[in-house]
Structure 1
Amino acid sequence: MIQTADLTKSNSSNYPATVQKYLWNWKETQIEVIYETRGGGKPVLLLPAFSTVSTREEMRPLAELLAPNFQVVSVDWPGFGESSRPRTDYEPQLYHQFLKDFVESVFNSSVAVVAAGHAAGYAMQLAQSKPNVWSKIVLPAPTWRGPLPTMSKQPRGWHGMVRELVRSPLIGQFLYKLNTAPSFLSLMYRRHVYADAAKVTADFIQNKRKVTQQPGARFGSAAFVTGGLDPAKTREEFVANFQGLTVPVMVVVAEKAPPKSKAEMEVLAQLPGVESRVIPGTLGLHEEFAEDLANAVKSFISEN
């Protein structure tokens, strides 16, 4: 049974967020998904990037900048953020189905979407299966390959073995603890996520680490890191989702993204019919440079 229910309200800005829960069923498991709405006007859905610290909170600066002009909805993916994290098999089909069901339940007309990182692949696949679901598509620093497959030349079967090891009791908990230690999170943010290392303070990392410490947090994280949530197995498969669409698409290239990731972004930016912008930042540009992104989003969505 799918339903929505008002949960609480936040009044931390001029455009307070109404926080709600969305009850969604997947393979006989009910998952409580948390999302929030702020502002008014044409709807815009913000999809955070998948990561060990994925949360709708990373979209808050962008949401607050867009709220004066749009009705902005930000969501925590199942298994991440404040959404429930059952011990289930986190796989692409789960997120394909979730996104379809969530959009159909929450919106009654076409909606603009801002899909960061890996969320890009899911937004584009939904555009292919339901051509009228999106009014505009914005993809900040889009990716399609998880960290381990990007760094390692080992076969995908090996990545799956690592994923199952992290899911296991004791050893998995120990490995996850290493992967979410403040020192490791700080290293990753300074190397791949934020362009300005000075912003990666101890308090910033501590807040990020809190996201990783909820019960069941390692299951979704292990799936993402090992490539289990990759929306495509090859670049060709990923690029195919951009073919034959009538909905306008804008790719936002991160100026200082890691070389492999930036090369993939630039491939998309050169596709026929795809608009592109280059803005500062790296894989976390949607949070670190929210104002630059908001300006690009507002001008693109407002175009006829």
Structure 2
Amino acid sequence: MIEPAHSTRGFQLDVRERKVPTPCDIVGSGPAALLLPALSSISARAEMRPLAKNLGHDYRCLVPDWPGFGNHPRSRISMEPVTFHAFMDALIAAVPGPYAIGVAAGHAAPYLVAAARRHPGMFDRLVLVAPTWRGPLPTAMGESRRGLFSGIRKVIEFPLIGEAFYRVNISPPVIGRMMRAHVYADPDHVTPGIIADKHAVTLQPGGRFGTAAFVTGGLDPFKARKDFLALFEGDDLPPILVLRPERAPRRSGAEMDALIASGRVAKASIPGALSPHEEYPGEVAAAIRANL
């Protein structure tokens, strides 16, 4: 099968009185679709390309990098939820759609849903792939240690010593262990080439600031599950499909299950862990088509 057309376009988005360079992949043709990569230490729009190429036979997919993330030099910007909500508004203003579907992976999910609520009619349907709302340290250690997390973030952001600390904790062996533990479901899929690509993302200038914010919960749009679930209340949202990976980590999977149990979203099971859109793009695309 012939691959859909692929190009890259750069935007200068106005986000909280700052110009934020935002490269976007444009893949395929047809009704517009917005595909948002997950937020993580190794986040980049490249992780969405396999899914975009699959969906690109039916949709014209727009795939942006988040501010402070991606495989390119990053402008310094305040890394907090209000910035990411403002980024979504600026992106929608620059490429106003409307969108047949909005797809968001991981931590991008609540930002997409919140944007859909602020912009009624912008999305016909939403797809949340392994949705999360809480960063790694708060998930693993609990909310009571927010003070500790804040201290860790300050250390990583500090000049010189922070960069050294970041490099030690985001080395290729660490990335490999992390991906095998909870990012990919099949350890054999974590190849040296993939680890090298992910490590290249972390080497971009300014990379430690996004990582520091995400890992310590600084990009969590909520502090409690009830607030996350409240985002889905009401009748002013489009239909929402949650793709629940079969091997999601226990704590993250529990949050997905709580959302599904609320009855406010539809559910489909897919293979994978926390990055099924990257590890199993064909299965994710098939689930989207089957349920939309």
Instruction: Tell me the TM-score normalised to structure 2 length.
Output: 0.95
Q: Which residue of 1 aligns with 2:179?
A: 189
CA distance in 2, matches of 1:137, 1:157: 35
1:234 equivalent among 224, 227, 233: 224
Q: Which residue of 1 aligns with 2:104?
A: 115
Deviation at 1:226, TM superposition (A): 0.5
Deviation at 1:161, TM superposition (A): 1.6
**Superposition pairs of residues 15-34 of structure 1, within 5 angstroms:** 15-34=4-23
Structure 1 vs Structure 2: percent identity of aligned residues? 41
> Given the alignment of the two structures, is residue 267 of structure 1 paired with residue 255 of structure 2, yes or no?
no
Maintained 8 Å contact 2:32/2:97: no
Question: Paired residues, what number?
Answer: 289
Deviation at 1:110, TM superposition (A): 3.9
CA distance in 2, matches of 1:281, 1:21: 31
Q: Which moved more, 1:80-89 or 1:68-77?
A: 80-89
CA distance in 1, matches of 2:102, 2:169: 31
CA distance in 2, matches of 1:150, 1:138: 23
Deviation at 1:274, TM superposition (A): 1.3
C-alpha offsets along residues 48-85 of structure 1, whole Å, 9 cap, x if unaligned?
A: 00001101111111001001111111111111114552
Q: Which residue of 1 aligns with 2:86?
A: 97
> Given the alignment of the two structures, is residue 77 of structure 1 paired with residue 66 of structure 2, yes or no?
yes
Deviation at 1:16, TM superposition (A): 2.7
CA-based RMSD of the aligned residues comes to 1.4
Q: Which residue of 1 aligns with 2:40?
A: 51
Maintained 8 Å contact 2:79/2:218: yes
CA distance in 2, matches of 1:113, 1:84: 26
CA distance in 2, matches of 1:249, 1:173: 40
> Given the alignment of the two structures, is residue 125 of structure 1 paired with residue 114 of structure 2, yes or no?
yes
Instruction: Tell me the TM-score normalised to structure 1 length.
Output: 0.91
4+ residue segments displaced more than 4 Å = none
**Superposition pairs of residues 188-267 of structure 1, within 5 angstroms:** 188-245=178-235, 246-267=237-258
Q: Which amino acid aligns with 2:183?
A: V
Q: Which residue of 1 aligns with 2:155?
A: 165
CA distance in 2, matches of 1:110, 1:182: 37
Deviation at 1:271, TM superposition (A): 2.1
Deviation at 1:30, TM superposition (A): 1.7
Unaligned regions of 5+ residues in structure 2, if any?
none
CA distance in 2, matches of 1:218, 1:66: 32
CA distance in 2, matches of 1:219, 1:128: 28
Unaligned regions of 5+ residues in structure 1, if any?
1-12
Q: Which amino acid aligns with 2:229?
A: V
